[in-house]
Structure 1
Amino acid sequence: MKLLRVGAALWLVTFVSVYAWVYGAANFVRLCDIAVILTCLAIMRGSALLLSSQAVSSLVVDITWDLDLVWRLALGHHLIGGTEYMWDPRYPLWVRLMSLFHVAWPPLLVLTLRRLGYDRRGFALQSAIAAVVLVASRFVLPGENLNFAFRDPFFHRAWGPAPVHLALTFAFLAGVVYWPTHRALQRLLPAAHA
């Protein structure tokens, strides 16, 4: 576990430094990038609660990202979207390749939670984090639709005024992504010790 903590610290410093330099500090309002930071901190501290919250947040999202990337590589177009920046020549290739952390994150989360145990409070913590971040996303780089705070990823439209759209986006995340992941992790992993 000590080696994993050192690796998490090194990745955190590298990730934050490079992404801030290339993409700007506003990039850290993205739920997936917040998940990287919180996952690294959870590993460094040995926090089952924080790691559980990020597993709830990241597993489905990262696997979806992975599928979109593979689909684009195999068929030449995106399945869902979200990985378009991987082909954007405005950013250095080595920086874009750093985003392949999405491939390693699901096994990292599951294997680390096998050691620490899954904390069932992770669902509530991640739901609270997402609620705050979704509201903040309306004010940071609105043209980029961070965390789909302006338009959904499927129909590319707003679902009513800002409060309604944010509530529906949150309900989708909590009900369709977070809750089923939480239930699966509860069944498949040992419980964390208090």
Structure 2
Amino acid sequence: MKKLIPIILASLFLVGCSNQKLQSHNSSSSTSSKQVKKNASPTAPKPDIHKKYPGLTLMTIPSQFRGTWYRSDPFSKNARKLVITDHLVNNSVLYKKTGKFKLDHNSAKQNKEYAGDISLGRVMQKNGQTWLRVRDILGSVDLIYITGNFKGHECLYLAYSSGDIHSAIFKDAKTALKYRKYDFSKVN
């Protein structure tokens, strides 16, 4: 038994050292993989604009809203990009309701049926401006994009369901940063 104790202790010591090396190797390996992931561009699945949903049809977004837009806020030093295409707002497919039915976010059936990155859209004319109302398919709050011009720059004003403007997005990132601290609630 006395001869086994040093062997057992030596075995435990070697196992402990090999685990420490393994952990060290794994942490350096995960660090390098994190760096690769950070530098690699994420590849999100492309939205399926051909998918059919009951009571919805694909919406075509008016041309004055399309393009790459930029916005910022008082706490950001970088502008955030918003891309609007024929049928997408930042990779969310835009649909319009065609049937008379109520969308209910509490409905398990509807949550399954309307799963995916899809939104409801509606275009309106108000006070000589075009409004694009967008909301999550089962959501209750609209995000409104209103065509406009701010100090000579083409822009889209942003408002929530009530229509009160709270921000603006511009075609140029530098312009978005320039006006990031401006109080857009003063705009009518």
TM-score, normalized by the shorter chain, greater than 0.5: no
Considering fraction of residues, name the structure with more strand: 2
Q: TM class by shorter-chain length?
A: under 0.3
Considering fraction of residues, name the structure with more helix: 1
Ranked by relative contact order (alpha carbons within 8 Å, sequence separation 6 or more), the top structure is 1
Query: Which structure's CA Rg is the greater one?
Result: 2
